[in-house]
Structure 1
Amino acid sequence: MNKKLIELACIIDDDDIYINLVKRVIETKKLCENLIIFKNGKQSIDYFEELLLNLKEDKIPDIIFIDLNMPVMDGWEFIEHFTKIKNKFNKLITLYIVSSSINPVDIDRAKSLNSIEGYLVKPIIINELENIFKSA
């Protein structure tokens, strides 16, 4: 039986095709036990703030994949809000930006943020995704 590498992962993205592809890869390769999905940054920030209020540490993801371009609250806004609260959790949470943007301004901005582990360009490569889960 394959050991699950990560207990809980999170995808914050409004692209259903991307979500379904990554979800299928994660399930097929057994990269994590559970997966939570949000369609925008606001939904996910609401979720994390609720966890803080109720101290539900077991519902905190080990790794988060965030898109930059989404409705309601984009990835940059999410990162700004999340950075303010993430240290209140007693858990290391790794953030990756996954975007279709190849704009050097976005990539440089992401590299300048200590809270971002990496910047991945869509479409994500399966081996790249596996390596991220293995190193987390």
Structure 2
Amino acid sequence: MKKYKDLDRILLIDDDMATNFIHRKIVENSSIQVDVKAITSAKEALDYLTCSGVYVNNDQVLNAGIIFLDINMPGMNGWDFMEEYKNLDEKKRARIVVVMLTTSLNPDDQATAAKFKDIATYLSKPLNAAAVARIADQYFKEITTE
């Protein structure tokens, strides 16, 4: 299992619980030693990132290193989330890799994702272990233990 500096947790943001379950298992079965947190609403995810709402004074909040974000969710969708995400502290955002993960085949969605400087990449569902490993290798430094 590989361990990466500043990659303690992967945050899954998708309103579909079955998708979150499958993606959690994919991450857990990848070659990366990381905690996985699945959240079913973009609003709750913002609360998590800002330690507000139900996450105030919660010692279980680990810094997310990677966020896999769905576009189409009820209430606050992935684009709305990104608009609010821009308001987070810049230092905090600099330590998080946001990946838009969607079933959308609409080329406009990929073009919209490219307009957000905080979105590192755009992937189609389902997530796979190779993609998780590739993102970790690309954006984080592996911790070697000898």
Give the TM-score, by structure 2 length.
Answer: 0.79
Long gaps (5+) in structure 2: 140-146
Q: Are 1:14 and 2:9 an aligned pair?
A: no
Number of residue pairs the alignment of both structures matches: 133
2:98 aligned with 1:105, yes or no? no
Q: Kindly provide the amino acid, as one letter, of the partner of residue 105 in structure 1.
A: D
The aligned amino acid for 1:37 is: A
Residues 1-136 of structure 1: pairs in structure 2 closer than 5 A? 2-5=1-4, 6-50=7-51, 59-89=62-92, 92-136=95-139
Q: CA deviation at 1:88?
A: 5.0
Where do 5+ consecutive residues of structure 1 fail to align?
none
My pick for the range that moved more, 5-14 or 88-97, is 88-97
- 1:91-113 CA-partner distances (Å, limit 9, x unpaired): 51110100111101110010121
Whether contact under 8 Å (2:26, 2:128) holds in the other structure is no
Q: Judge conservation of contact 2:26–2:129 (CA < 8 Å) in 1.
A: yes
The alpha carbon displacement at 1:13 in A equals 0.4
Q: Is the 8 A contact 1:61 1:93 kept in 2?
A: yes
Q: Which runs of 4+ in 1 moved over 3 A?
A: none
Q: What percentage of residue pairs aligned between the two structures are identical?
A: 27
